[in-house]
């Protein structure tokens, strides 16, 4: 059995995954049971609101930056359980600023700050991120006519996901270079 070292305690990975899955499943059950607003397409405001997503408009509305103090799950079983949470967090954050920006086409750059070194970055699913952007109404659809994307990851003791939504224009390469240089 695969085992991992956490601090100085050896733990079987399957038990960690099972515990994480159970906690996430319970949280999602509460999320849906107690927040009828979501089913009506409204942001939940009372019990178990969406996560705090920092939103910032940069470069005179050419770039929107989101910071989520989490990162997408690695394993499929967890991706399925966290899908709605990621979509809703991004969708509701962007709906708050949607009337302040205008995009015909976007490039989405995602940087994962992961708490583990040498993680296989392509195991992180950005599908839910792009779907959250689409459902916010920022772009009409997530087909290639409207959305392109790229991503990378770095090790950091403060895990998070930074999402940059960049207006696809003549200045796009310079904006992306600036963002990459700032990271």
User: Could you give the C-alpha distances from 160 to 23, 66, 73, in angstroms and in order?
Assistant: 19, 10, 12
- This prediction's pTM: 0.74
Average pLDDT over residues 17-42: 68
Across the strands, what pairs with 27?
Answer: none
CA distance 147 to 165: 10
Average pLDDT over residues 86-114: 92
- Domain 51-182 in CATH 3.40.50.300: no
Domain ranges of the chain: 1-49, 51-182
Q: Which is more confidently placed, 19 or 160?
A: 160
Q: What is the pLDDT of residues 70-90, one digit of tens each?
A: 887 766 656 666 778 888 889
Q: What is the pLDDT of residues 161-176, one digit of tens each?
A: 999 999 998 888 998 9
């Amino acid at each position: 059995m695969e085992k991992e070292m956490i601090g100085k305690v050896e733990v079987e990975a399957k038990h960690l995954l099972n515990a994480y899955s159970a906690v996430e499943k319970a949280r999602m059950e509460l999320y849906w049971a107690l927040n009828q607003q979501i089913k009506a397409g409204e942001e939940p405001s009372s019990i178990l609101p969406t996560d705090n997503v920092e939103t910032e408009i940069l470069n005179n509305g050419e770039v929107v930056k989101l910071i989520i103090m989490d990162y997408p799950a690695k394993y499929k079983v967890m991706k399925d359980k966290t899908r709605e949470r990621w979509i809703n967090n991004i969708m509701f954050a962007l709906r708050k600023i949607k009337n302040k920006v205008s995009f015909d086409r976007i490039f989405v750059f995602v940087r994962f700050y992961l708490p583990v070194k040498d993680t296989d970055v392509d195991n992180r699913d950005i599908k839910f991120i792009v779907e959250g952007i689409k459902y916010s109404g920022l772009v009409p659809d997530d087909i290639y006519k409207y959305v392109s994307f790229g991503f990378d990851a770095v090790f950091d003791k403060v895990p998070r996901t930074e999402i940059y939504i960049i207006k696809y224009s003549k200045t796009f390469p310079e904006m992306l270079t600036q963002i990459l240089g700032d990271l």
